[in-house]
């Protein structure tokens, strides 16, 4: 793989960093476009996106601190270049962005569900580019496989991320990346045809949780055992978070679907009464 694109003097330009920048840029531009289509103010959405981006970076680092023993056991690693350059944990970034988004939307007087729906496709395309960066860097690698599409990583990738060399591995990063590219196009379609606000972001949360849960079965460098639950359940930390996210998204989808159906029936009765008056 190609963990480094080139160097400026002794400073490396990492492929992962470039893909991460592309992920954030595309996510912001798509979010602003969809939000404007929904009648939301561009300026506020730009501000919201930038603050949520910052919150996602902080959240991803915070969760990495919780689940990675090397940082818990050696706090000075927090000041290392390796910690600053690492991508962190996606679920931590998602949680950080949601928390920041909730308070900022209240401050900017933006409707929560409509704004969140505009964000969903951008998050999905961000997943696509982010996992492409993981593949290029050699992080988040898969388990050994004899399948014909198994991949071998370079020695440079091993030096940077510790990925095993000389053995064919599942391209777990690409599995998730291309799955989320499909989800991105699905969410764009759903944004045009949604039956109620919140349907797009909740569909994203539900589908991503399923994709991530399944992908963890072929992923090898999983996060550490959070609170001993992995040893108890046999599931990874990300799988446990995926179950929580998926169930929450499904429950909220059902609640909002029923609420929208009730409103539609009420409006229909009112219209029918008015027509016969």
29, 58, 158 from 92: Cα distances, Å: 22, 8, 25
d(CA 80, CA 88): 14
pLDDT at 277: 58
16, 103, 125, 127, 238 from 63: Cα distances, Å: 19, 20, 22, 18, 11
DSSP 8-class letter at 222 = P
CB 19 within 8 A of CB 32: no
Q: Kindly give the confidence (pLDDT) of every residue in the chain, 277 residues in length, as a single tens digit, with 9 standing for 90 and above.
A: 676 777 777 777 777 888 888 999 999 999 999 999 999 999 999 999 999 999 988 888 777 777 676 666 665 555 555 555 555 678 888 899 999 999 999 999 999 999 999 999 999 999 999 999 889 888 889 999 999 999 998 887 777 777 888 899 999 999 999 999 999 999 999 999 999 999 999 999 999 999 999 999 999 876 566 666 666 777 888 899 999 999 999 999 999 999 888 766 665 565 555 555 5
pLDDT at 224: 61
Residue ranges with strand state E in the chain: 4-8, 11-14
Q: Where exactly are the structural domains of the chain?
A: 4-276
Q: Phi, psi (5° rounding) for residue 167?
A: -145, 145
d(CA 136, CA 88): 16
The radius of gyration computed from the CA coordinates of the chain, to the nearest angstrom, equals: 21
pLDDT at 164: 87
d(CA 268, CA 276): 12
pLDDT at 214: 95
CB 36 within 8 A of CB 100: no
């Amino acid at each position: 793989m190609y963990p480094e694109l080139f160097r400026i003097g002794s400073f490396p330009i990492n492929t992962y960093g470039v893909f991460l920048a592309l992920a954030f840029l595309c996510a912001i531009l798509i979010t602003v476009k969809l939000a404007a289509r929904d009648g939301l103010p561009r300026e506020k959405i730009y501000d919201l996106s930038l603050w949520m981006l910052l919150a996602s970076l902080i959240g991803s680092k915070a969760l990495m601190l919780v689940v990675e023993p090397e940082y818990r056991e050696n706090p000075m690693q927090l000041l290392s270049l390796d910690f600053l350059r690492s991508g962190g944990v996606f679920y931590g970034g998602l949680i950080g962005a949601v928390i920041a988004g909730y308070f900022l939307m209240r401050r900017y007087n933006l409707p929560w569900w409509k704004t969140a729906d505009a964000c969903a496709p951008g998050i999905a395309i961000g997943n696509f580019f982010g996992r492409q960066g993981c593949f290029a860097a050699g992080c988040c690698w898969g388990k050994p496989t004899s399948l014909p599409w198994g991949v071998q990583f370079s020695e440079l990738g091993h030096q940077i991320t510790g990925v095993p060399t000389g053995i064919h591995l599942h391209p777990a990063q690409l599995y998730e990346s291309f799955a989320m590219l499909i989800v991105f196009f699905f969410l764009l379609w759903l944004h045009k045809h949604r039956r109620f606000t919140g349907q797009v972001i909740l569909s994203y949360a539900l589908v991503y949780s399923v994709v991530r849960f399944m992908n963890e079965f072929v992923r090898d460098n999983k996060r550490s055992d959070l609170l001993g639950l992995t040893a108890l359940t046999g599931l990874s930390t990300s799988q446990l978070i995926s179950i929580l996210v998926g169930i929450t998204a499904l429950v909220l989808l059902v609640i909002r679907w029923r609420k929208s159906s009730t409103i539609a029936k009420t409006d229909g009765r009112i219209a029918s009464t008015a027509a016969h008056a």
